[in-house]
Amino acid sequence: MSLLNGITYGLLLFMLSSGLTLIFSMMGILNFAHASFYMLGAYFAYQISTWVGFWPGLLVAPLIVGAVGAAVERYGLRRAHRFGHVAELLFTFGLAFVVEEVVQLIWGKVAVDYRIPAELDGTLFTLFSTDFPIYKGFMMLISVGMLVALYALLTRTRIGLIIQAALTKPDMVEALGHNVPRIFMLVFGGGTALAGLAGVIGGNAFITEPGMAAAVGSIVFVVVVVGGLGSLGGAFVASLLIGCIQTFSVALSISVTDVFALIGVSLPQGSQVARLTITQLAPVLPYLLMVGILIFRPRGLMGARES
Amino acid sequence: MKSKFVQSLALATSALLIGGSAFAQVKIAYIDPLSGPFANVGDAGLKGFKEAAEILVNQKGGIMGQKLEFVGFDNKGSPQETQLQLKAAIDQGFRFVTLGNGSGAAHSLIDAVNKWNARNPDKTVLFFNYAAVDPTLTGEKCSFWHFRFDANTEMKMEAISNFMEKDKNIKKVFIIGQDYAHGHQVAKYTKEMLTKKRPDIKIVGEDLHPIGRVKDFAPYIAKIKASGADTVMTGNWGNDLSLLIKAAKDAGLKARFFTYYAGGLGTPQAMGAAGENMVLQLTEWHMNVPTKSTEQFALDFNKKYPGIWFYYLRVNNMVQMVAKAMNTAKSTDPKAVALALEDLRFPVDTGEVWMRKSDHQAMQPLYISIFSKKDGKAVKHDSEGTGYGWKTLATVSQRDSQLPTSCIMERP
Amino acid sequence: MNSAIFPRGRLLLWGGCLAAAIALPLLFKSGFVVSLLCQMGIMVVFALSYNMLLGQTGLLSFGHAVYYGLGAFVTMHALNIVGKDGGPLTTALLPLVGGLAGMLAGVLLGYVTTKKAGTTFAMISLGIGELVAASALMFPGFFGGEGGVSGNRVVGKENLLGLTWGPQVEMYGLIVAWAFLATVAMFALTQTPLGRMANAVRDNPERAEFVGYDTQRVRFLMVILSGLFAGIAGGLSALNYEIITAETLNAHTSGVVLLMTFVGGIGFFYGPIIGAILITVMQIVIGGLTHAWLLYFGLFFLFMVLMAPGGIASVIAVQRNLWLAGLLGRMLPHYLAVALPVLVLLAGLVGLVELSYALLAGEGVGAGDTATRVMTMEFHLNTPGPWLAALGTTALGLLLTRWIGSRAGVAWNAALATLHGDKA
Amino acid sequence: MTAPAIRISGLRKNFGASEIIRGVDLDIHRGERHAVIGPNGAGKSTLFHLISARLPVSAGAIELKGENVVGLKPFEINRKGLSRSFQITNIFHNLSVFENLRCAVLWSLGYRYSFWQRLAGLKDARQRAEAVMEDIGLAKRRDTPAGILSYAEQRALEIGITIASGADVILLDEPTAGMSRSETDDAVALIRRVTEGKTLVMVEHDMGVVFGLADRISVLVYGQIIATDAPAAIRCNAAVQEAYLGTSPHLGNEHD
């Protein structure tokens, strides 16, 4: 059961981070606004679902998000790019700010009632007396479908091959005379559309509210960094790994004292460290993992290159 | 942008210059988040205070003929900013402040008010707390200059555990909470009180998770399910609560959730149908408590401010009690008002609120209610347009939540 | 080469700033302004310490709040240990304790983080920032949980200077003293071999290795020293607010200092000073005027990134160069000409934003959501009048700005060309 | 007898499967001017990178003045008195010409990581930087940021930074690449002047420069040294001629 939960969560993380990996590796941009596009996806889908239902939203919302992303690249990032990486990064930083405010302005500060469609509401199967909801199955389906589509796109099409080449050797592709700015715009648009798609299916599984971007903002960086630059496969493995780590560490009821006892260190009784349980630590474990990875293997799990 | 800045600087300075006390008003500074992630709660609170002041005080003669007015100061949820805003309010002649959101901000404010009053005995300030529930605020840190109009965590737990004591269906309890002071306190009181009152109940698990960082509660729910718990006790609020309930419903967990904040702004909407017959809350009031005038007040309020739902009866209580104290003392001097508030027994719509002198903690009736489908009878009104509303399960009389205090108050 | 120990111009500038800092609270008697000035002073030190990393060593950090926060907590604990028994001097020196704590944190964390520069450093600092912020809530013993740790800075009356540190003005004096010392020290650091080598490592780490410098060591030392000054800033904030909560350590604080530094200008020593002052004022003053301040803030920031990536300091520097080249006089009429349409544009935009906020976010005057008050004028939202007016103003502003702006742009380019021509 | 300035023995370097340096043995005598020539892709720059520790060695030994330097970091080797320039200009772009040079002399004057001394007060650093600046003819550009210098000026600065520390073994990687005829002549004069009494190793394509400057020449082809000798001898070495242009009867002024 924990494994299933971990995989579902991991797959959602992957949907978010695949776009970021593309953007980060190709353009070198730490897109701080990536999670904002995830949020926009959820809100657009909500808005569309109130008009014409969930299914059209599933298709249309990511496209709109992608268009917004492409416009942001064209009219904002491209200009910031001239001033270097820090300026680019700060641009996305500011963008995240503005997106959150605008979302609050349009849809209000409270969560919106974005619901799971009736046909997906229910139990898929019951395992060890715990229900597995249909919607989670649907989420898995979509993310695996996206993974397959992305893989096909990257390995079977010309533009995909260029993008792949650009992931590992950005200078080379430019030298070969490809229209790099246009590719950048496409990649940024595509990457944000993927985030938008994650928002569409994540928004109703969880909660669609203005803070949702901030909640996942830094964890996707962890995934990308742990997975390694330029590696979609790495991002995939890292997503699942982090999903499972979080889930399993919650399931374990042991304390830090026990862990240290395993390696033969006994902590002073009653100290604050000894009191902690692994469950308490669960949500910060990914950061621990990231720092560890960066120190001992800066390329990430499957990274093609260092930063 | 620059001109905007100059403009606002000019405005701010002029505001500071005319500040003083030129208005024939009793002004209370409302220091709470009005921007940022918690702005919705802060904004709703401010509207509640303004409405209550207008209808319950000003339209009934005001305070010695003066109007009561609430002015918002945005502390952005930060303890440091709270202190700056306090200074700003004092500069503009405010002698009363109120704050409710965030124990951190409340601690900061009580501290700042104590220090200010000690250093400026001729310009004292009084702090009305309408929602920060950390028991230490009326316990070890209690202050003559602080009054709390909400029941604190310990009192609420007393009421909940009394209710649990009588319900023989409860056999296994799981505690889950946010990993910070409030979550720790809820866990602590749950264990203490249940072992005393119902030693047969087993606490089958206790988990703390970092606040606002968990996206998917499924693993926690799986653990709760595995523990066989029939009851879950949680102090969670906001998204941490809504997500918990949603995950529980997804996994088909059949347990009842005792909560502190399930009725809080936005939460009913976020949990929606997932919470039906599963979520209980403890409040001083809800829409389906039969009352004389509050029901109408709430309906009018909801109509006037679409998107905001009347939630805090204690705001109304506080406004009336403060007005009463000022009228009794025939003064708007903070010290005189404080003395008049002490031991004040005030009849409100749900019974009586008593401001205990020894720790400045208000005692009031409380209600335990469950989230149920609107049926027009026991659930006459739904909550936040969800089709579900609160159904009273039990009434806790003012006496039933009273606990002794550890407060040793320094009095001026 | 000016061989004087301190060039006279610089001495005058520093003295002038110090005098202004001392004079300000005399002009504004209100407690709010003094509190605001205190916060500015603290932020100036904090932002300058951040720029030691970003601007001088080229290290982009997302976790600078760690040093600031740890400095603050340690100072607070020290204050509580020293307590009322300490003299006024002891209390006044406490920020140094915070500085040492920040420095120690720099030694421990810097060793791990500075192995790599660039993105790796940025991500490690992000991770460590998150870890420290999360542990702050897990260890209430040291960090005081949600309520934070509080203390009392006031010392008994009987002492040689008559200082108790109780009144905010005395605290302000202390902050100015510390901020001035720290600023001088940080400036002096830029004029030392280490400071210069930090610039070299920023520009070209490989070259720095081939002139004999261990770049990791240079970064490490800079992180430690930056930690020292961030810790001092934290210590000042502990004394100033007398309460420190876990929020001091979190990503938000790190983000704010990054914004301040960047907006001020990372390429100039005085950039962060301008940024810290401006952003503090914006946060508090504009925040007090309109609920839309976060939006204005975000838009302002985007505007800065796109239009003046060198920060305000670089804008000032260009004007100064124009002035020195005798070209500023030629540009002034153009500035004035542009200012008018920009003001119109801004008025229109602000009107639109405020109207939208009043309508959508329901932040009107309180009598329902049908009216709002913008600078004492009351507008009715359900009538098209104010909307049309705002839209019209925006459109007019936009047109005028484009029209006049393009002409000013020509003059601007000409002036810049002359300027660079002079130089070459 | 003193050890040679640089002694390379059995040096190998491979990137994955491809071996770039395939067993190089070479002695550079103290005080000589030594040029390394060879066709493109022969591994000349890689050889420099190995000596200066920019790249890790796969196998073999490198001794600097009798001391093993394999496994040391670039800055450690630099401190032992070896300094190098780069084929692609490698300077501190945002610092002024003077600051570039001052940075280059700080370590050798023992100022290390000092943050308690004022730069302006360090007379010896200033004088040395100014002397080098004079040497490379950039005194007039003293306060210009290095990033906006002309290409030839940047190359001169590159050499200036390399020699400023007073290292006695200097490695120059294509010092005249991309220069015009007259600029090249200036550069040669500069190199001759500033390396007086030092050991110089240079990679160069301009045969005019090579034969004008070098005391000895080594020819590197496909990762192996096929000849090391005086210029005159190299000129008539049959193996060299074949390796170089296949048919070319003698080596002329070749630009590539």
Separation CA D172–CA C18 (nearest Å)? 51
Residue in the block written with tokens 């009392």: C152
What H or E segment, with its residue span, contains residue C304? helix C293-307
If you average pLDDT over each of A23-37, A162-176, B335-349, C337-351, which comes out highest?
B335-349
Residues in contact with A153: Cβ distance below 8 Å, sequence separation at least 6, in sequence order: A159, A160
Does residue C342 fall inside a structural domain? yes
Residues in contact with A2: Cβ distance below 8 Å, sequence separation at least 6, in sequence order: A244, A247, A248, A250, A251, B219, B222
pLDDT per position as a tens digit, C250-291:
888 898 899 899 999 998 999 999 999 999 888 877 776 777
Cα–Cα–Cα angle for C95, C189, C276, nearest 5°?
Answer: 60
* Interchain proximity A80–C306, CB inside 8 Å: yes
Judged by phi (left if over 0) then psi (alpha if -120 to 50, else beta), residue A108 lies in left
Does residue C192 fall inside a structural domain? yes
Q: Which amino acid is residue D222, in one-letter code?
A: Y
Which CATH number, 3.40.50.920, 3.30.70.2190, 3.40.1080.10, 3.40.50.2300, labels domain B23-151+300-363? 3.40.50.2300
Rounded to the nearest integer, the mean pLDDT of chain D is 88
**Nearest-CA residue of chain C relative to B114?**
C152
Does residue A277 fall inside a structural domain? no
* Interchain proximity A9–B218, CB inside 8 Å: yes
Nearest to B212 by CA among A219, A200, C292, A195: A219
- Asked if B243 has any chain A CB less than 8 Å from its own CB, the reply is yes
Same domain, residue pair C242 and C330: no
Does residue C300 fall inside a structural domain? no
The per-residue pLDDT for A210 is 82
Residue C423 has pLDDT above 60, yes or no: no
Residues of C in contact with A30 (CB under 8 A): 119, 122
Domain end (from C204, C233, C256): C256
Structure token pair of residue C232: 């001092």
Residue D253 has pLDDT above 50, yes or no: no
Structure token pair of residue A269: 């009784």
Same domain, residue pair C241 and C347: no
Does residue C304 fall inside a structural domain? no
The per-residue pLDDT for C170 is 87
The per-residue pLDDT for C273 is 95
Domain end (from C204, C224, C256): C256
Chains B and D are touching, with contact defined as 3 or more CB–CB pairs separated by less than 8 Å = no
Residue B395 has pLDDT above 50, yes or no: yes
Mean pLDDT, to the nearest integer, of C86-90? 75
**Nearest-CA residue of chain A relative to B385?**
A113
Does residue A234 fall inside a structural domain? no
pLDDT per position as a tens digit, C318-371:
888 888 887 787 778 888 888 888 888 888 888 888 777 777 655 443 333 444
**Nearest-CA residue of chain C relative to A272?**
C139
Do the domains B23-151+300-363 and B154-283+365-401 sit in the same CATH topology, yes or no?
yes
Residues in contact with D173: Cβ distance below 8 Å, sequence separation at least 6, in sequence order: D44, D45, D48, D84, D85, D86, D87, D202, D203
Q: Which amino acid is residue D87, in one-letter code?
A: Q
What CATH code would you report for B154-283+365-401? 3.40.50.2300
- Asked if A130 has any chain C CB less than 8 Å from its own CB, the reply is no
Mean pLDDT, to the nearest integer, of B223-242? 88
Mean pLDDT, to the nearest integer, of D39-55? 90
Number of domains in chain C: 2
Residues of C in contact with D93 (CB under 8 A): 203-204
Q: In sequence order, what DSSP letters do the residues of B226-292 get, joined into one string?
A: HHT-SEEEE---THHHHHHHHHHHHTT---EEEESSTTSTTHHHHHGGGGTTTEEEEES--TTS--S
Number of domains in chain A: 1
pTM of the predicted model, to two decimals?
A: 0.86
pLDDT per position as a tens digit, B361-382:
999 999 999 999 988 888 888 8
Structure token pair of residue D127: 């004088």
> What b/e string do you get for A252-264 counting C-beta neighbours within 10 Å, with b at 16 or more?
eeebbbebeeeee
Does residue C303 fall inside a structural domain? no
CA distances from A231 to A16, A160, A223, A303, A306 (A): 14, 14, 11, 6, 11
Structure token pair of residue A6: 């971990």
Least confident of B99-113, C75-89, C364-378: C364-378
Residues in contact with C279: Cβ distance below 8 Å, sequence separation at least 6, in sequence order: C43, C256, C259, C260, C263
Nearest to D173 by CA among D16, D29, D79, D35: D35
Domain boundaries, chain B: 23-151+300-363, 154-283+365-401
Same domain, residue pair C341 and C247: no
Question: What is the Cβ-side half-sphere exposure of residue B381, based on CA atoms within 13 angstroms?
Answer: 15
Quickly count: other Cβ atoms within 10 Å of residue C384's Cβ: 10
Interface list for B 294-313 with C (CB within 8 A) = 304-308
Separation CA C202–CA C224 (nearest Å)? 16
Does residue A37 fall inside a structural domain? yes
Same domain, residue pair C330 and C235: no
Residues of A in contact with C298 (CB under 8 A): 94-95, 97-98, 101
Residue B197 has pLDDT above 80, yes or no: yes
What residue numbers bound the domain in which C382 lies?
325-423
Residues of A in contact with B218 (CB under 8 A): 5, 8-9, 247
Nearest to A147 by CA among A247, A235, A227, A61: A235
Least confident of A227-236, B282-291, B363-372: A227-236
Same domain, residue pair C249 and C114: yes
The per-residue pLDDT for B113 is 94
The beta-carbon neighbor of C298 closest among A101, A272, A288 is A101
* Interchain proximity B251–A215, CB inside 8 Å: no
Q: Which amino acid is residue D226, in one-letter code?
A: I
The beta-carbon neighbor of A94 closest among C124, C138, C301 is C301
Same domain, residue pair C85 and C203: yes
Does residue A202 fall inside a structural domain? yes
C-alpha radius of gyration, chain B, whole number: 21
Residues of C in contact with D79 (CB under 8 A): 212
Does residue A252 fall inside a structural domain? no
- Asked if A94 has any chain C CB less than 8 Å from its own CB, the reply is yes
B18 against D69, higher pLDDT: D69
Domain end (from C237, C256, C275): C256
The beta-carbon neighbor of A307 closest among C119, C258, C292 is C119
The band of A65, judged by pLDDT with boundaries at 50, 70 and 90, is very high
